[in-house]
Amino acid sequence: MGKRWRYKLLTCFAVAGLITFVAVLVFNRTPLPKKTPTPKELYDVISPSTYRFILNQPELCEKKSPFLVLMIPVTLKDTEARTAIRRTWGQDGLSPRVTVLHLFVIGQPAQSDPVLQEHLERESKEFGDIIQMDFVDSYHNLTIKTMMIMNWIATYCQGAWYAMKIDADIFLNVRYLVDYLLDQGESSRKDYICGSVISDAVPHRDTFNKWYISEDLYPDTWYPPYVSGAAYVFSTDLARKISWASRFVRPIPLEDVYVGLCLHILGVKPMYATTFLGLGNLFEMLARDLNRRGRSFPKNSEWGNRSALGDYLGYVLVRKYLLKDETVNIYLFTTQLLAV
Ligand SMILES: *[C@@H]1O[C@H](CO)[C@@H](O)[C@H](O)[C@H]1NC(C)=O
Ligand SMILES: *[C@@H]1O[C@H](CO)[C@@H](O)[C@H](O)[C@H]1NC(C)=O
């Protein structure tokens, strides 16, 4: 081969390389993640195999073959929240078409509380809706709790179609969600995760920020798309896959971002749930003005009365979606607002 030819060939390669490089930059802003296992001591912190069940419901799914399982992180002391949820969106039979189960997911308080623990164990016997593991419950440990949820679904509830992680201060329109999921068809049975998708988020480097994260812990300058941790629903196959992917993702204390990082490893894109009418986001959190309903808002003196709150939410629930008296989106309602 002559010198000129070699030169031409080299130029060709250089140009092709440049084009590829530009194409990668343009079309693939987020390079494919490397799968490097995290050091064992880091992985062990979030791996559910590190912890022991104090309370478990291993046969729940076998007995009931649910369509959807609601996994609700709470702490030992949140007795009132559990009661309110059991009376409202956690109650049985809300969806006439399928079985929906709920489970409260709990760790341990930093200071053990034998009285409350005994109370919890009685509650667990009575309702059969509590799972508890022996890691310390704290805001920073929510990632551990989320991985506990994934692990539990993967181990005990693969037969369910969907699982949902949902916070206790949210009010959920179960029936609307079930109808929505039933309408999604086959493609949503696998690698499906749906919620309020946050794209193009960046790490907060300001130490005063609630979501602060140090560069040591997370050196990248961007987050992959993730679903807001308040409430998201996923096909149960993802529980096993996310558990697997977590071997390659360094633990960070932001549980929803963490799930996003696992999804990134898996190449699964979280979905927005939109309605055709109005093009709204179904997972939008709404603190609605409830005065417009037939019954008035609880009086100020009733704010702290969780039993009144439960009754009130029960009322809203019956009006809004058992009777389906008006068109509603997934109705997310912060009971925090009512508990002030
Ligand atoms: C998280 O849980 C682990 C295991 O129980 C515990 O050692 C650690 O102190 C907890 N972290 C926080 C910030 O509470
Ligand atoms: C709390 O609400 C319940 C139900 O509405 C009511 O029966 C009870 O008397 C209230 N308790 C207080 C202390 O206001």
Mean pLDDT by 10 residues, the chain (340 residues): 64 66 55 81 94 97 94 90 80 86 97 96 98 96 97 97 88 77 88 91 91 92 92 95 96 96 96 62 54 42 48 53 39 30
Binding site membership of 52 for ligand 1 (Cβ less than 6 Å):
no
Q: Is the CB of 141 under 6 A from ligand 1?
A: yes
Question: Which ranges of 74-199 does DSSP label H, i.e. alpha helix?
Answer: 79-87, 114-127, 142-156, 174-184
* DSSP three-state, residue 244: helix
SS3 125: helix
SS3 162: strand
pLDDT of residue 321: 46
* Cα 271 from chain centroid (whole Å): 13
The pTM of this model reads 0.76
For strands 68-73 and 162-166, give the pairing. Answer: parallel
* Spacing, Cα 194 to ligand 1 middle (Å): 29
Chain centroid, CA 297 distance in Å:
29
Ordered alpha helix ranges (H), the chain: 3-27, 40-46, 60-64, 79-87, 114-127, 142-156, 174-184, 237-245, 255-266, 306-317, 335-339
Q: What is the pLDDT of residue 303?
A: 40
pLDDT of residue 95: 79
Q: Is 274 in the pocket of ligand 2 (CB under 6 A)?
A: no
Phi, psi of 58 (to 5 degrees): -65, -25
What pLDDT sits at residue 25? 53
> For residue 334, which of 172, 179, 158, 224 has the smallest C-alpha distance?
172
User: Which residue carries 């189960």 as its tokens?
Assistant: 101
Q: Please list, in sequence order, all residues whose beta carbon lies within 8 angstroms of the beta carbon of residue 11, skipping any fewer than 6 positions away.
A: none
Which residues make Cβ contacts (< 8 Å) with residue 184, sequence separation at least 6? 192
Provide the pairing of β-strand 226-235 with 193-198: antiparallel
Per-residue confidence (pLDDT) for residue 85, from 0 to 100: 81
Compute the distance from residue 305 Cα to the ligand 2 centre, in Å: 6
